[in-house]
Structure 1
Amino acid sequence: MSKYLLDKFLYTVDRDPDLVERYRADAAGTVTWWEEEFANKLLNCTTTEKSTWLAFTDEERRALRDHDHVALFQLGAHPFLTLTLFIAMFERDHGPLEYQKAYGKAMEHLRLPYPDIAT
């Protein structure tokens, strides 16, 4: 499991409006494509330098493909990264603050200690 890779996915997708729409419309395809093309590239690096060992676990892939923010949090993804990305994808389908309240309600069963989200 790689909290870094989960957070990198959430961060990079959230910062590109085209990727947000692609992820919203085709989560499974976007996750597969992103993992093949970007998982091993260095973040914010303009060279072709890259690593070779980063990959999502099956559980991480499932959570990303299902847009399951609760599972992503339990896997260690930073909640602010999931919240900002998921607001960009789903807030338009709800009234004012409805999505944010539903996001919080879905996580209210979680108790301390939370997963470590240190960066």
Structure 2
Amino acid sequence: MSKYLLNKFLFTVDRDPELVERYREDPAATVRWWEETQANRLLNCPEVESSTWLEFDDAEREALASHDYPALFELGAHPFLTLTLFIAVFERDHPPLGFQLEYARRLARFGLPYPDIAT
């Protein structure tokens, strides 16, 4: 499991409106494409710089592919990154602040201490 990779996915997809739409429409294919082509690219570096070892485990891949943000939170994804991406994906399907309230409702079962978000 790599909290770093989960957070990197959330961060990079959220910053690209085309990727947000792609992730909304076909999350499994987007996760697969991102893992194959983007996961090992270093952030803020030329494309020629990359690593070779990063990949999602099955639980991470399934949570991302099913838009399961409570599972992502439980796996240690940063709640701010999760919230901002899923606002971009789902806010249009809810009344004003409706998605944020849904997010809070679905994460209400988590009490302190929250899952560790350190990477």
- Fold conserved (TM > 0.5)? yes
2:87 counterpart letter in structure 1: I
Which residue is equivalent to 2:18?
18
Distance in structure 1 (CA, Å) of the matches to 2:15 and 2:77: 16
Distance in structure 1 (CA, Å) of the matches to 2:73 and 2:37: 24
What does 1:74-85 correspond to in 2, within 5 Å? 74-85=74-85
2:86 counterpart letter in structure 1: F
* Residue 88, structure 1, aligned to residue 88, structure 2: yes
Distance in structure 1 (CA, Å) of the matches to 2:59 and 2:40: 19
Which residue is equivalent to 2:4?
4
Tell me, yes or no, if the aligned pair for 2:41 and 2:47 is still in contact at 8 Å. no
Q: Percent of aligned pairs with the same residue?
A: 69
What TM-score, normalized to structure 1? 0.97
Q: CA deviation at 1:111?
A: 1.2
Q: Give runs of ≥4 in structure 1 deviating > 2 Å.
A: none
**What are the superposed Cα offsets for residues 51-105 of structure 1, whole Å, 9 maximum, x if unpaired?**
1110000000000001011000000000000100000110001101011000000
Tell me, yes or no, if the aligned pair for 2:27 and 2:67 is still in contact at 8 Å. yes
* Residue 118, structure 1, aligned to residue 95, structure 2: no
What does 1:64-79 correspond to in 2, within 5 Å? 64-79=64-79
- Give the alignment's Cα RMSD to 1 decimal: 0.8
Tell me, yes or no, if the aligned pair for 2:87 and 2:99 is still in contact at 8 Å. yes
Q: CA deviation at 1:115?
A: 1.2
Distance in structure 2 (CA, Å) of the matches to 1:44 and 1:6: 17
Q: CA deviation at 1:50?
A: 0.8
Q: CA deviation at 1:112?
A: 1.4
1:100 counterpart letter in structure 2: Q
Distance in structure 2 (CA, Å) of the matches to 1:44 and 1:58: 27
Which residue is equivalent to 1:51?
51
